Structure 1
Amino acid sequence: MKLKTALMGAAASLAVVPMAMADGHEGERGRDGQLNIIYWQAPSTLNPYLSGGTKEVESASLVLESLARFDNTGALIPSLAESIPTIENGGISEDLKTITWKLKDGVMWSDGTPVTSEDAIFSWKYCTDENSGCAQASYFDGVENMEAVDAQTVKITFNAPKPFPYTALVGAESPVIQAAQFAECLGARAPECTDANFGPIGTGPFKVDEFKPNDVIQFSANENYREAGKPAFATVLFKGGGDAAAAARSVLETGEFDYAWNLQIDPNLLANMESQGKGTVVTAFGTSVERIHVNQTNPDPALGDERGTVAHPHPFLTDPAIGKALSMAIDRELLVEVGYGAGGQVTCNVLPAPEVYASTANDACKTQDMEGAKKVLADAGWTAGGDGILTKDGNRLSILYQTSTNAVRQDAQALIKQWWNELGVEVELRNIDGSVFFGGDPSSPDTFQKFFADVEMYTNNFAGVDPEAYMANWRCSEIPSPETQWQGANMQRFCSEEYDALVDKLATTAGIDARAAIVKQLNDMLMQSYSIIPLVHRGGVSAHANTLAGVKITDWDSEMWNIADWYRTGN
């Protein structure tokens, strides 16, 4: 296959379009006063490199930008870059080993200093420092070097041909940060730079005025933002905390807020709120999957500092028969019906979309099979004790099941506990405030990265339409540990040399069909290890006031991707 057509094949489902134009509204910057946003899971940092949580990535995206981003259709559009590099325009080399990005003219940081190629290079060095514990390291997989061609041009060299080179510094999870501000924050010092992490200087439409972790953020319009008349709002109040139902009411019933995120509540209740006529519910399907991670390491507190590390495998959950039985016992259709309605679909994959990458090899999970699950456990040697709880080799099949505090998640926990109890599994439920659970604080024992439980449930997805960086999240090197300050995306501590080799192969494979075949293999390895139990392919469900215009919700990037285009109407 010729290399030029190889790149086009890899990006067959990816549209590249010019920068989206405004919706026709014009006026002075800040003309529409204050915008009130509520994310009921409150952000704990504004540095997305130090958290894998969506709330941190999205709140930071008001300030920090990448070279390019993905719009509400999944199309790649330029952000800090003047255009999207391709082979045809000379931005990508014929051998697919380099991509060259050129910054737009006159882009300034909010402090009035110019953005340069050195900032982009610094961002790469910051995240890939071996002691940094960067949560987004997979976006830089395969990057061998970055160099400044000139002050506005950065050339990225890969260690092998890169059929899909739009990962490093692309999307909300991989932004450009200011080298001057973070210069003293490399490596192990990264989490110590509180001023920078809580108040990053950015290029986006807003700047940080005040940040109260796990509570509220006050933004104001960036006077150095490159587009005249934008943003329309002078200030943004970004409130965190509470719960999804209260957040929905604050937009759809009381009108206190203009935008509410992640409305994971009873679909009938949400419809009743929307019927009040003050707001609109919006949904976007992408790659979000509500899933259960099955801990492959031992979370026993008696292990001290080695708790939850690969030094101590889990005493029984490393047996895939247990995960398989737990999965077979779940009625996913009922979980969708009770908790998601039209905002959810049953899935048996951690990667449900785009369609070309979706495997059908695991579809048996769509039908609950309680008797089959009992047989799997019996065949694996688990027998019921006097109290009905299964035991084997001195181990009692008793698990701690944690998730974030959320009515839908607690309903799902209750149902799943009931099904697992029927198998003879003892289940203790725990829920943790979402601001803490997804916070990434290395000193907290309650984060999803530390995973001090046996199983945990939450949703995750990835930016863009190519899953290469996402599937790399389950490399052995991505396992959170004390050495990485508990950062990393491989929450369940899955580790396979064969899997890692396939990730490497994907990085150098061209052609959409060939890439899809490898992606399906990767997905199937994860699913058949039963270290992840997928439950629901979730749509991103949010709500905005009827007076708020310009919103184009996406699940391919930050929901805030086009906040510079939001404005107030008289409706």
Structure 2
Amino acid sequence: MDERGLRGLIDKVKAGGLSRRAFVKRMAAVGLTAPLANQLLAFSGVAMAQSNAPYKPTKRGGGGLLKVMWWQGPTLLNPHFAVGTKDQDASRLFYEPLGAWDRDGNLQPKLAASIPTREDGIAADGKSVTWKLKRGVKWHDGKPFTADDVVFTWAYAGDPATAAVSSGSYKDVVVEKIDDFTVVVKFKQPTPFWADAFVGWAGGIIPKHLFGDYIGARSREAPANLKPVGTGPYKFKDFKPGDLVVGEINLDYHVPNRPYFDAIEMKGGGDAVSAARAVLQTGEYHFAWNLQVEDEILVRMEKGGKGRVVISPGGGIEHMQVNNTDPNVEIDGERSSLKARHPTLTDPAVRQALALLIDRDSIEKHIYGRIGIATPNYINNPEKFRSKTTKYEFNVDKANALLDRAGYARGPDGIRAKDGKKLKWVYQTSINQPRQKTQQIIKQAFQKAGIDVDLKAVTASVFFSSDVANPDTYPHFYADLQMYNNGMNAPDPEVFLRQFCSWEAAQKENKWQGRNITRWQSKEYDETYKAAQVELDPVKRAALLIKCNELVVNNQVVIPLVARPGAVALIHGLVANISGWDNNTWDLANWYRES
């Protein structure tokens, strides 16, 4: 379809002669996914449509206690320090961004009065976006929410000394107050993906009057890190890190008749199987997060009749990370330092052999089923950004031949070595039955190629903790290989792919808050990523982001295992819009239970 034809269709939608649904269907016929088609309409000035089912409750409260289970218990309640999804989800009970991503990849207003469009907010040159803020919003302590809080959040998260995990969304922009209810985000260069700062998981607005004295080096001392005061549907009541978060209804919430439930309890601990059982079989809880459970077990549980598994398309990817630095060498008090290259895993032949030794089909078939699809790509959705040239292969013979040619010979113990460096590593992940089974499948294949791994399983609440002092957290990566699920929090891979940029390396000086966990350094990748950031042509931009994915997987920086759509459990009758592009709690104010 040429540009003239596309413009004609958009004009029809504006005039009411063509429905949004019909437009999205026409775009699908030419290869454009629904989220991108909807973003195209937004960029052209067509307001986003709410994808939620009609909200039925006619008053605030009355729904009793909402009991939800996050089997990895939250460890803090500041969204800008939340390195794990559990902490992000918990923070969203209390804090809200300007906009959030719904299930269909549409941007929905939260603290914004409306979503910016090309005709109202988005600059034609791509160098700024203006947000209009919702009026009448109050913080939980009664103070008014204004543009000052938005500008402060930018300054707070963008300050290197704050060491915020969200810093990448704020450090390269300038935010200015226009008036009490209008701010403008200015970019240094044309920015096609403008919906980053103040949007989604990294977008939580925090109150200036409570955090103002704790910006920069004192950021970890703020009492509100553990006792949040936000604008969300629930007010903080109690928090036991790693165990329980309790919120009570916000009677001054800025959306009429919301929330429905009088209180919420987010229970942590246990494991994914017990969490699934608590909803699907016993009905003790209303919702269970992240069903990292073998699919055959979930199918059996669903027969219990209390609840259902809900699968949401998104960008989740279960993957193995390959450490580019040496976790066994300490330099200036830091292991896995950028100053110490890994002695064997930086060899391209070794990395290529690793990829050949991953039996993805068996992992899908025998473990994940419908909630884990074998893939060669780190970026799998939206389809427009998925590489069509990558492929995966399980071939032990090829892996052995590669290692033979590279000079890695088997010793008396059967383990390969070269120049005194053995192919013997620590392979870590969180304690979780599917992950331990995956470790076993991979270990057996490694052994057939003369590679030995010590399997390490860390308690999930520790592995995904935001505790910067704990060496067993995944951002420290004090192992040779590690495995977990990572996910896109927007229907666009740009922000997600930032995790492989050289300047994002997780290290001591940024309190391991950098997103580049593998510490891979590539000038070609950095330049490709920077080019994508400023490319306004959507086709050319997609090609650049696809190249980023290909550089990562073809260099075995990470080895994708299975694409993981979101999988949660809902008790029958609970109505909740779950998005694969945002936190599970992105729309918590609209949850209710049908009688």
Could you say which TM-score interval applies, normalised by the shorter chain? over 0.9
Query: What SS does the corresponding residue of 1:81 show, helix, strand or coil?
Result: coil
Contact 2:108 2:115 in 1 (8 A): yes
Q: Which of residues 47, 72, 78 is equivalent to 2:78?
A: 47
Aligned pairs for 1:208-247 (under 5 A) are 208-247=236-275
Query: What SS does the corresponding residue of 2:563 show, helix, strand or coil?
Result: strand
What is the distance in 2 between the residues matched to 1:276 and 1:387? 50
Please give the TM-score of this superposition, normalised by the length of structure 1. 0.95
Contact 1:107 1:114 in 2 (8 A): yes
Displacement of 1:343 in angstroms is 1.3
Q: Which runs of 5+ in 1 are unaligned?
A: none
Displacement of 1:306 in angstroms is 2.1
Structure 1 residue 401 and structure 2 residue 431: aligned? no
Displacement of 1:487 in angstroms is 0.8
Residue of structure 2 in register with 1:460 after alignment: 486
Displacement of 1:479 in angstroms is 0.9
What is the distance in 1 between the residues matched to 2:54 and 2:213? 41
- Residues 273, 449 of structure 1: CA spacing in aligned structure 2 closer, same or farther, 3 A cutoff? same
Q: Which whole-Å deviations, capped at 9, do the CAs of 1:300-356 have from their partners, x for residues lacking one?
A: 165571211101111111112212111111110110112211112111111111101
Structure 1 residue 196 and structure 2 residue 224: aligned? yes
Query: What SS does the corresponding residue of 1:184 show, helix, strand or coil?
Result: helix
Structure 1 residue 297 and structure 2 residue 322: aligned? no
Q: Which whole-Å deviations, capped at 9, do the CAs of 1:30-86 have from their partners, x for residues lacking one?
A: 201100000111111111211221111111112111111110111111111111112
Letter in 1 for 2:87: E
Contact 2:129 2:185 in 1 (8 A): yes
- Residues 141, 498 of structure 1: CA spacing in aligned structure 2 closer, same or farther, 3 A cutoff? farther
What is the distance in 1 between the residues matched to 2:568 and 2:270? 15
Contact 2:246 2:266 in 1 (8 A): yes
Q: Which of residues 20, 45, 68 is equivalent to 1:37?
A: 68
Letter in 2 for 1:147: E
Residue of structure 2 in register with 1:513 after alignment: 539
Q: Which of residues 496, 509, 529 is equivalent to 2:522?
A: 496
Letter in 1 for 2:158: T
Residue of structure 2 in register with 1:106 after alignment: 136
- Residues 22, 564 of structure 1: CA spacing in aligned structure 2 closer, same or farther, 3 A cutoff? farther
Residue of structure 2 in register with 1:470 after alignment: 496
Contact 2:427 2:455 in 1 (8 A): yes
Residue of structure 1 in register with 2:170 after alignment: 140
What is the distance in 2 between the residues matched to 1:164 and 1:464? 10
Aligned pairs for 1:336-415 (under 5 A) are 336-363=364-391, 365=392, 367-415=393-441
Letter in 1 for 2:584: E
Displacement of 1:562 in angstroms is 1.6
Residue of structure 2 in register with 1:567 after alignment: 592
Residue of structure 1 in register with 2:147 after alignment: 117
Displacement of 1:27 in angstroms is 3.5
Structure 1 residue 159 and structure 2 residue 159: aligned? no
Which 4+ runs in 1 deviate beyond 4 A? 8-13, 18-22, 301-304
Query: What SS does the corresponding residue of 1:173 show, helix, strand or coil?
Result: helix
What is the distance in 2 between the residues matched to 1:309 and 1:188? 22
Displacement of 1:568 in angstroms is 2.1
Q: Which whole-Å deviations, capped at 9, do the CAs of 1:134-186 have from their partners, x for residues lacking one?
A: 2122223641x111000110011100111221111111222211111111222
What is the distance in 2 between the residues matched to 1:246 and 1:38? 10
Displacement of 1:26 in angstroms is 2.2
Query: What SS does the corresponding residue of 1:236 show, helix, strand or coil?
Result: strand
Residue of structure 2 in register with 1:173 after alignment: 202
Contact 2:318 2:560 in 1 (8 A): yes
Query: What SS does the corresponding residue of 1:146 show, helix, strand or coil?
Result: strand
Letter in 1 for 2:529: V
Q: Which of residues 528, 539, 550 is equivalent to 2:565?
A: 539
Contact 2:98 2:203 in 1 (8 A): no
Letter in 1 for 2:430: S
Displacement of 1:18 in angstroms is 4.4
- Residues 233, 546 of structure 1: CA spacing in aligned structure 2 closer, same or farther, 3 A cutoff? same
Query: What SS does the corresponding residue of 1:493 show, helix, strand or coil?
Result: coil
Residue of structure 1 in register with 2:477 after alignment: 451
Displacement of 1:188 in angstroms is 2.5
Letter in 2 for 1:135: V
What is the distance in 2 between the residues matched to 1:517 and 1:185? 42
Structure 1 residue 185 and structure 2 residue 185: aligned? no
Q: Indicate the larger mover: 145-154 or 103-112.
A: 103-112
What is the distance in 2 between the residues matched to 1:303 and 1:384? 31
Contact 1:306 1:312 in 2 (8 A): no
Query: What SS does the corresponding residue of 1:172 show, helix, strand or coil?
Result: helix
What is the distance in 2 between the residues matched to 1:524 and 1:152? 42
Aligned pairs for 1:305-316 (under 5 A) are 305-316=333-344
Q: Which of residues 283, 290, 303 is equivalent to 1:262?
A: 290
Q: Which runs of 5+ in 2 are unaligned?
A: 11-31, 43-47
Instruction: Quote the RMSD (CA, aligned, Å).
Output: 1.9
Q: Which of residues 457, 460, 463 is equivalent to 1:437?
A: 463
What is the distance in 2 between the residues matched to 1:19 and 1:140? 28
What is the distance in 1 between the residues matched to 2:490 and 2:330? 42
What is the distance in 1 between the residues matched to 2:55 and 2:200? 25
Displacement of 1:205 in angstroms is 0.8
Residue of structure 2 in register with 1:528 after alignment: 554
Q: Which whole-Å deviations, capped at 9, do the CAs of 1:437-494 have from their partners, x for residues lacking one?
A: 1112111011000011111000111211121111112111111111101111111111
- Residues 93, 24 of structure 1: CA spacing in aligned structure 2 closer, same or farther, 3 A cutoff? closer
Please give the TM-score of this superposition, normalised by the length of structure 2. 0.91
Residue of structure 2 in register with 1:82 after alignment: 113
Residue of structure 2 in register with 1:61 after alignment: 92
Contact 2:336 2:477 in 1 (8 A): yes
What is the distance in 2 between the residues matched to 1:87 and 1:252? 45
Contact 1:322 1:377 in 2 (8 A): yes
Displacement of 1:416 in angstroms is 0.6
Letter in 2 for 1:283: I
Query: What SS does the corresponding residue of 1:286 show, helix, strand or coil?
Result: coil
Displacement of 1:267 in angstroms is 0.8
What is the distance in 1 between the residues matched to 2:76 and 2:252? 23
- Residues 302, 148 of structure 1: CA spacing in aligned structure 2 closer, same or farther, 3 A cutoff? closer
Percent identity reads 38
What is the distance in 1 between the residues matched to 2:331 and 2:424? 18
Displacement of 1:497 in angstroms is 2.0
What is the distance in 1 between the residues matched to 2:129 and 2:293? 43
Query: What SS does the corresponding residue of 2:333 show, helix, strand or coil?
Result: helix
Q: Which whole-Å deviations, capped at 9, do the CAs of 1:266-295 have from their partners, x for residues lacking one?
A: 111111111011101110121000001111
Displacement of 1:11 in angstroms is 5.4
What is the distance in 2 between the residues matched to 1:348 and 1:299? 27
Contact 2:123 2:129 in 1 (8 A): yes
